[in-house]
Chains A and B, each alone.
Chain A
Amino acid sequence: GENVEQHPSTLSVQEGDSAVIKCTYSDSASNYFPWYKQELGKGPQLIIDIRSNVGEKKDQRIAVTLNKTAKHFSLHITETQPEDSAVYFCAATPQELSGGGADGLTFGKGTHLIIQP
């Protein structure tokens, strides 16, 4: 089955600086890579995702890059703000887009992002 490794486990950055979180995956059949943000006492919320036919995707201060050859993908947050403090999870799945079933996600173990004022 799929195995997702996520680094670092904790990341502390100064407010306004950039943060980068990296993940690797093992199953070459994986084709969908979401990133989730989890705040204390809440469920994970999707912040951005990327499919294997795309190398990069941006949404305002957040971007994700994917290198299929190396089987790794990264989350980039620019101009960090205090509200970015949370736990971030990467995930991967060989998600079918039509017919059949929809497999669950395989998650990394999470990165605790701390934004220092």
Chain B
Amino acid sequence: NAGVTQTPKFQVLKTGQSMTLQCAQDMNHNSMYWYRQDPGMGLRLIYYSASEGTTDKGEVPNGYNVSRLNKREFSLRLESAAPSQTSVYFCASSDLGLTQHFGDGTRLSIL
């Protein structure tokens, strides 16, 4: 049982480049989330999708877009990467009222 799978695990970008972080879950969960984790800051919510076909902004959405492709997949896109977006990105999923399950993260460096 894979749970929440994130790809890639590591990525280095140059300022201004674009990329999409992929996330897929195999637990048939309705809700999916993207967080970023910075040293000393804990995890902060970027965007979430309460159910297939809906997305909402979290605490730090600027510079990001998301797509809920289907019930399994929720992608995060950086259109024009900036050094301030260097971070570890975590995807999570949950069913209504239940625990959020996290992937192992994508470590993104922007030069």
Contacts and interface: CB of A to CB of B under 8 A. Distances in A.
Q: How large is the interface on A (under 10, 10 to 19, 20 to 34, 35 or more residues)?
A: 20 to 34
B91 to A, nearest CB: 9
Given A101-B50, A107-B43, A96 B96 contact: yes
Most buried by A among B45, B51, B92: B45
Nearest to A49: B99
A110 B39 CA distance: 10
A34 B100 contact: yes
A70 to B, nearest CB: 21
B97 A104 contact: no
Interface stretch (B14-22, B29-37, B63-71, B76-84): B29-37
B105 A105 contact: no
A99 B97 CA distance: 10
B104 interface: yes
